[in-house]
Structure formats: structure tokens, C-alpha cells
Structure 1
Amino acid sequence: MSNRPEQDILAVVQTYLDGLYEGDTSKLAQAFHPAAHLYCTTGNTLVNVDQQQWYELVKSRPSAKSKGQGREHERLLLLDVTGPNTALVKLNCAILPRLFTDYLNFVLLDGRWQIISKVYHFETV
């Protein structure tokens, strides 16, 4: 861990984005705390997926990399370190035809930054 939490958090964000792009759940597991959940709404329905359910979904779909998709949609929009143990990252990414906005909530546990929850929105293009 460095003296600058932003650098450590950005390293986790890169691992997360690489894992998404490659469909690599081992990389995603490095970024997420084991108790993490993912949330979104579709219509009036809350989607609440635990980490293992999400990994199964990632494994079952073709990755962006395998489809020859670029990474031009990846953008860091916000990095807010709110205290010594919490942070929020907002970013854009894509697994076409879906464009995502992710809100990643981070906690510092056991000496490393980990994603504890993800709230996301997507649009289909």
C-alpha cells in the first residue's frame, strides 16, 4: 500500500476494468471484497446480486475482449476519498451493446482497498 490512497484505489479500479474487459473473474475477485453486492434497478425492480452470482454471469457471457471490442468507453468520472477507510469511484465502461455507469464503494480492510458494493446503471445502444 502506498502513502496515497488514490494510487491504491486506482490500481484496484484498473484490475476491475481489466477483469470486466477480459471476463476474468479471478481479477474481479482481487478487486471485490467477498461480501460485496451489486445493485441496479430495472423498471421498478431492485436487482441485488451477490458476488458469486455475478461471477457466474461474467463467466457465461462473451467478454468484450473476445468480441474484439475496444476500451474507448472507459472513463474515470470521480474519485472521492471520504475518509481514511472509505472512498467512492464513479466510472463509465462498456460491454457492448450496453454502456455502464458504475458507482464503486470502497473500504480499506486488512491493509488493502476493496470494492464492497457496486451500484450501476446501463443503457443499450
Structure 2
Amino acid sequence: MSNSPDAEVQDLMTRYFEGLYHSDSDVLRTVFHPDLAYVNATEGTYEHMGLEAYMARIDARTPPASRGDAREEVIERITFKGARIGIIEARMTMMGRNYQDLLTIIHSDQGWRVLTKVFSFVERKD
């Protein structure tokens, strides 16, 4: 695999989508920075939490994969600002919802990690 930032971030996003779909906090811990800020900005459901609270939620969740939930993921844009920070715009469908994610990333000693996850969702109509 290439050591380019693009290839590393593509790998990060593969782990992100897989970890969420399989509710695998071990995989997600390789994605998120220990200082993660998780923000649900959906109208009427604003919430903020850190990594440990979010991982506890993931661990308590029935994995969408175990139910065979429909799944769609798209990375809409990756923008780097210098060699150490960037932002990812992505969307995904799972658990009967369409999610829009804004992920800020930082390059740390462990490689690229998501420092903030700000997202919103709408319930699917189908």
C-alpha cells in the first residue's frame, strides 16, 4: 500500500465504515483519536460525547451487519490543509437512516485519526 496521505485516509475510511457497520469498537479505536469529539447535530437530537462514551454506545448496539441492513457509503470529499490536518465529507446509509458526516482528521504518531465527528441524519422513507 502507498504511504501517501490519500491512501492512508482511504484505509482509515474503510475501517470507519466497516467498524460502524459491524459495531466493532476495536476497529473504531484505530480510526478515532483518543480526544474524539462526537457531535450529533441532527435537529432535535443534539448531543456531544467523547471517545469512551461513544465506544460504549457502539458496544451496546446491535450490529447493522447482523441484521443484514442495507448499506451505502460514499466519500464525497477529502481536503488536506498542510501535512497534518484535513476534513472528510462523507455520507452513509445504515440502520434505516441517511447520515451526513463531517470528519476532521489529524496526523498523529499513530497515523491519521478522526479528531471530530460531526454528523446529522434523516430517517429513510423506503
Give the aligned partner of residue 116 of structure 1: 115
- Contact (CA 8 Å) 1:107, 1:114: kept in 2 or not? yes
Q: Return the TM-score normalized by structure 1.
A: 0.90
Q: What is the DSSP-based 3-state SS (H/G/I as helix, E as strand, rest coil) of the residue aligned with 1:30?
A: coil
Q: Matched residues in 1 for 2:106 and 2:7: separation? A: 14
Q: Alignment identity in percent? A: 23
Deviation of residue 95 (structure 1)? 2.4
What does the per-residue CA deviation read over 1:15-68, in whole Å, with 9 as the maximum and x for residues that have no partner? 111100101000000001111111123446641111111111111121110111
Q: Return the TM-score normalized by structure 2.
A: 0.90
Q: Matched residues in 2 for 1:52 and 1:111: separation? A: 18
- Contact (CA 8 Å) 1:81, 1:87: kept in 2 or not? yes
Query: What are structure 1's unaligned runs of at least 5 residues?
Result: none
Residue identity in the other structure for 1:108: H
Change (3 A) 1:42 1:76: closer
What does the per-residue CA deviation read over 1:58-96, in whole Å, with 9 as the maximum and x for residues that have no partner? 11121110111232x211111111111001111111222
* Corresponding position: 1:64 with 2:64: yes
Off by >2 Å, runs of 4+ in structure 1: 40-46
Q: Matched residues in 2 for 1:104 and 1:41: separation? A: 13
Query: What are structure 2's unaligned runs of at least 5 residues?
Result: none
Give the aligned partner of residue 97 of structure 1: 96
Change (3 A) 1:15 1:45: closer
- Contact (CA 8 Å) 2:42, 2:121: kept in 1 or not? no
Give the aligned partner of residue 82 of structure 2: 83
Q: Matched residues in 2 for 1:30 and 1:3: separation? A: 17
Residue identity in the other structure for 1:75: V
Q: Matched residues in 2 for 1:88 and 1:114: separation? A: 11
CA RMSD of aligned residues (A): 1.7
- Contact (CA 8 Å) 1:102, 1:119: kept in 2 or not? yes
Q: Matched residue pairs, number?
A: 124
